[in-house]
Amino acid sequence: MITGSQCRAARALIEISREMLASFSGVSQDTILRFERKLETPADEVILSLRSALEKAGAVFLPEGERGIGVRLKFTRSEARRLSILESEGGVAGDDEVPGA
């Protein structure tokens, strides 16, 4: 599971809005807001949906250890920027040449 603070921190790291997270996860913006502000703890399956969406977007959640729980980026800033550019362009173009022609 993740905490509301981790959810908020992950959104900040990967630079997505609550609206985008709601779209990616299928969880309402209001539920995300209430979770991040520690006003409400949603059901486990809702938290798992949020975590999954954040992980797909590039967040990595760190388990509780000597230094406590946390979140970091899956990719370096440079890698994330290149991925963003590729996604905006529809991905890498394939070879258009017909073999043997």
Asked whether residue 22 is assigned to any structural domain, the reply reads yes
Task: Supply the pLDDT for residue 68.
Answer: 72
CB 4 within 8 A of CB 46: no
Q: pLDDT digit string (tens) for 60-98?
A: 998 887 677 778 777 666 665 665 666 666 545 555 565
Count of structural domains within the chain: 1
Structural domain boundaries enclosing 34: 4-88
CATH number of the structural domain spanning residue 54:
1.10.260.40
Asked whether residue 45 is assigned to any structural domain, the reply reads yes
Q: pLDDT digit string (tens) for 35-66?
A: 999 999 999 999 999 999 999 998 899 888 76
Asked whether residue 24 is assigned to any structural domain, the reply reads yes
Asked whether residue 62 is assigned to any structural domain, the reply reads yes
Asked whether residue 99 is assigned to any structural domain, the reply reads no
Asked whether residue 28 is assigned to any structural domain, the reply reads yes
